[in-house]
Each structure stands twice: as C-alpha cells, then as structure tokens.
Chains A and B, each alone.
Chain A
Amino acid sequence: MNKILKFFSFCVAITLISSSSFAAGKLNLYNWSDYTPDELVKKFEAETGIQVIIDTYDSNETLLAKLQAAGGSTGYDLAVPSQHFVEIMIKEGLLEKVSGIKDMPNYKYVAKQFQNPSFDPMQEYSTPYQMGSAGFAFRADSYSGDGSSMMEFFKPNDEVCGKLAVFKSPEEVVNMAHLALGSNFCSEDPNEMQAVLDLMLEQKKCVKVYSSEGINDRLKSGEVIMHAHWDGYSQVGKWEYMDDLTYAYPKEGVVGWFDSLVMPKGAKNVKEAKAFMNFLMDPENMAILSNNAAYANAIPESQKYLSDKMKNATNIQVPEGVPVVFGQACNEKAQSLIDKVWTRVMQ
C-alpha cells in the first residue's frame, strides 16, 4: 500500500512539473494532427528559439464550440480554422486582432486575390495557411464516367450504386448538392432546400456508408469506388498504390476551403504567434507545408520550392473553367434548414 502511495505521489509531482510553464518564448499551436510537419516546426524553432507546443483538434466545429464555451481561457496562441469559421469567430468576438499583419516582411508574397479576403476584409485577424477543395473522387479503372458532372455523384449509375460513400457531416455535402442543382450556398428558400433534400434522399439509396474517416482505405479495398473526398488527401491516395484514383473537377465546380492562422481570444504569446505567422508566409516555408499535406497555398512563389511529386499532382490542379466556390457562414435560417435536411436524410 505504501509503495502504491509513493508511486502515486511521484506521478502527481511529475504532472505538476510537466504542466507548469517555465520556458520563455513558447507558442501553443492548436491544429489538426500531422497538419504541421515536424520539419517546419524544427526549422522555426532553430530560427527563432521559440518552442512550439502542438495540440490537436478534430474539426472546425470543435474549435468553435471550445472557443465559445471557454471564452478567453483556452491557452492557445494560434489556431487554424477554415474561412467561414474565421468569419463566425470574428463575429462572435472569439479572436484577437493581430496588429500589423500587412506590415509583416513576408506579407508581400501573398497572392493579390487572397489579400484582404472576404472573411477578413481588412486582414486584421488572419494569415493564410493552406487551401483546397471538397468534391468527390473515383477509381477510374472501375468507373466508366469521367467526373465531369456533379450529378455523377448524386445520381450514380449502376457501376457506382451501392459502392458510393459520402461525408458524415452535412457541410460540404449540402454545398455540393447546391452546386449540382445550381442553387446558392446558404439558401433560405424552402423549395430549393426541398430539392436538395430530395436529391440527397435519392442518392442515399445508392450510398454504402456515410463516413469521413479512412476514405482512402475504403477506396483502396474496393469497398466503394466513389467517395466524397478532399483534393489533397485524394492525391496522397493516388501516390500510395492507387494510380487510378481521380479527383473529379465537375463543370458545376467544387467546394473550396481556405484555412488561416488566427489568434484566439486571450492568447498570451502574441509576439511568438506573429513571428510564426510571418514565418509561414515565406515561400520556402509554405512549400514545406504543401509538400507535406499535398494541399495548395496562397503564396505563388512557393511553387519554386515544391517537390517534383507535388508539381505533377494532378488531383490538386484545378482545370481551367471549373469554379471553386468557397463555403460561407450561413445565417440562422439557412443553417436550421441545413440541419433539418440532414436530420431528415439520416432519420
């Protein structure tokens, strides 16, 4: 019993030591797992002497819920939400204003069309991280279509029917349905949403699984031959023993996303966070990020530093004429319509 007690107090002591903050110049980064390559972190630490501590979360929704619930006491200095969540977080007062983003030495590298983006029109809160799109991908060897229409995903032919998989959250799926039907994102028109619902219910007859995990595994095993997918992640699958995995760029367009670095309310290490923001806008560093995750970025000059593999990554190159429509933050009415559609599809 005594031994157990001793061991126990030893553990408590270790906990207390490891959780207390003693290092000056550290940065708490909150991000998806594997989304920040080790190489990049090491380089930043070597250049600045700032220690980076990475914590991870699983979705934009979690990040938002956490910031909402915790107010200003999350303890993170930087997080990486997508564009529409940046908009929401700004609206809800969950982010710190970052002074002088435009004066950062590396800001000049950001492509003109991504400066002052619509979700952060004065560029007061965010700097670019990575970008990409959501759509669908298929195994070209088992499918006769070419992915030129979004309807191939929603009204699959006999080859695909029963071998189709869809994301398990409505966000991208509903937007893809809007693209297929030619209606606008965040629609408040019940008739339009009824059409979306009908389309998704019809699609459901052919859906084998709704899941956002293990997408490439399911495609590789042949369990499904068409799957709602991300451009970069599908490229990774193509590199890994799936030569025929093709990410579709339908004429109706794909759903774009754009992740940014932002500073949650109550961030303590402001100087360090700004150093990281500036560091990432350097083309060479941004290229490390893109080489790792196979996603595109908003720094054109980073092209020079991309690996050959990345330069030939066909799944992430948007063909001429295919629109990339970025998801938006919907208002209350539109959001509740989306929820209702999803609940009805899933009931």
Chain B
Amino acid sequence: MFRKNKFRHVWDFPGFSGWTAIFFGFLYVPIFVLVCYSFNSSSYAMIWTGFSFRWYEKLFFNDDILQAAYNSLIIAITAAPMATAIATISALVIVRGGGFRGKEFSSGLITLPLMVPEIVTAVATLIFFATLGINLGLINVIIAHTVFCIPFAYMPIKAALEAMDPNLELAARDLYSDKNSAFRYITLPLLTPGILSGFMLAFVISVDDFIITLMVAGGGSTTLPVYIYSMVKMGVTPEVNAVSSLLLAFSIIFVTGYWFLNKKSS
C-alpha cells in the first residue's frame, strides 16, 4: 500500500507524520520518567535523590508484589481472550445479522458494563457472588474482568466490521463455494486488525483495573494495582516503578519477538 517515494499520495496528509511523532512522545515521555525513577535511591516515588538499584533488589525479595504481578498477568491473559472471543462473535452477528429482533437490545447489553460506575459494579458483583456462594478465588476475578472487558474488545471489532466492504465477502463466496471458507479466508483475515485492537484494549483494561478487583478478589488473588493502591498507608515507593519497568521490559521483549516472527513468516 505504502510506497516509499517522494510523491505525496492522496491518502497522505501533511503534518500527520509529525503529529504522530508528537503523539508517541506524549505517550512515552511519562514512561521514560517512570523508568528513570525506578532507579531512585530514596523512598520517594516522585522525588529524585540519587541513582541506585535498591528497589530492584527489594523487589527481588518481595514475594507479595511478584505474586501480585503474576496474578495480574494470569487474569489478563485469561479474561482478555474470553472477552475478545465473545465480543467477536457478537459483533459478527450484530453487524452482519441484518435486522433481527433484539438487535438493539443486544448491542445495548454489550455496552452495559461500561455504563455502570465501577464501584457500583464492584460492590454488586461481590454481593452477587456471595449470595450464590461462588467463591473460587482467582476465577471470580477472571469472570468479573471478562464481563467488563467485553465492551472494550467489542468497539474496535465492530468498527472494523462496519467499515468493511460486504461485497468482498460476497465476491469471496463466489470464489469459495461454501461460506465457511469465505469467512475463514476473507472475513477473518480482514478482521484481524480489529480483533487484535480489541484484544489489546481488553488486556490493558484488565491489567489496570483496581476497584472491581479490590472488591471481588478473595484470598490469594491480590493483583498489582490492588497492591499498589494498598501502599498508601506506608507511602508509595519507587518499588512500583521497578515492577512496572520490568513489566514494560517484558512487553517490549514480547513485541520485538512478535515482530521478528512476523518478518520471518512474511
């Protein structure tokens, strides 16, 4: 699509590349600051006093915070795919199902978890689980996360589907006789960026959630955000910067790996 020559295409807009650079600067300057401060020698999360590995050392021996980080990842890795799967199927039916009864209702249902303030969902879900006697530790949290991640996964997928040309699929169905292959070879690949976006939003939302997790979590399922917010009594230290930096490093390694894999396959 994108040809590297000086000729400016109609789909290139002047200033957009510069704007995107500013956009990434805006996203990453705080992250850069955050990583720098993980090497802070004092116990102030926000005041620089000197360079040290103190907090990384402390982190290494702090089983609680590592366990919390591990819990966060497990929950996100489980809840985000489930939410994305449900969101994908629902989006396909709602966008491509034509007019059917209950369409409006279903699309309203999807956005519902978004519309209710988190603390309300949190307390209500806890009462709900307690009333039904569902007490499965981490699984309670995973269920709750799946529910509120659905609208976040749904929006990009729906947007991708709506912007997609249905004629492509019709053409594909002439090409491949059955509609399953049409779906598999045409619709799904075209939808992949949408699904990927949806998955990533769900993941990010799950990793970051605090209130719902705080309420719903049972014994042994403290997540990183809950741990961090619970530091207020003793003061938040650069240890959380250290653990965040490790998570970042982890995700950057993951992305780089993905990029190389992609390069190989293409």
Contacts and interface: CB of A to CB of B under 8 A. Distances in A.
Interface of A: 4, 8, 11-12, 14-16, 18-19, 21, 28, 30-35, 38, 53-59, 62, 65-66, 69-71, 73-77, 212-217, 220-221, 230, 233, 236-237, 240-241, 293
A8 B82 CA distance: 9
A114 to B, nearest CB: 21
A64 to B, nearest CB: 12
A77 B129 CA distance: 19
B116 interface: no
A19 B220 contact: yes
A15 B232 contact: no
Nearest to A28: B219
Contacts of A4: 81
A19 B81 contact: no
B130 interface: yes
Contact of B222 (A55, A71, A212, A220): A55
B25 interface: no
Interface in B187-241: 214-215, 217-222, 226-237
A69 B233 contact: no
Contacts of A8: 77-78, 81
A97 B130 CA distance: 22
20 contacts: A15-B142, A32-B231, A33-B227, A33-B231, A34-B233, A34-B234, A35-B233, A53-B219, A55-B222, A56-B64, A56-B222, A62-B215, A70-B130, A73-B130, A75-B135, A214-B46, A217-B44, A217-B46, A217-B47, A241-B42
B221 A19 contact: yes
B63 interface: yes
Interface in B47-74: 47, 49, 61-65, 68, 74
A12 B42 contact: no
The 4 closest A-B pairs by CB, nearest first: A75-B219, A56-B230, A217-B46, A28-B219
Contact of A65 (B78, B123, B219): B123
A70 B237 CA distance: 31
B86 interface: no
Interface string B25-50: 00000000000000000111111010
Interface residues of B, number: 49
Contact of B126 (A32, A33, A66, A240): A66
B38 to A, nearest CB: 15
B147 interface: no
B127 interface: yes
A36 to B, nearest CB: 8
B135 A217 contact: no
Contact of B232 (A28, A212, A237): A212
A238 to B, nearest CB: 12
A62 B47 CA distance: 29
Interface of B: 42-47, 49, 61-65, 68, 74, 77-78, 81, 123, 126-127, 129-130, 133, 135-139, 142, 214-215, 217-222, 226-237
A14 B74 contact: yes
Contact of B215 (A59, A66, A77): A66
Contacts of A66: 126, 214-215
A240 B232 CA distance: 17
B235 A214 contact: yes
A28 B218 CA distance: 10
Contacts of B222: 54-56
Contact of B43 (A55, A69, A236): A236
A293 B235 CA distance: 10
Nearest to B133: A73
Contacts of B218: 73-75
Contacts of B236: 213-214
Contacts of B233: 32-35, 230, 233
A240 B44 contact: yes
A79 B188 CA distance: 50
Given A28-B220, A33-B227, A69-B123, A19 B234 contact: no
A240 B78 CA distance: 41
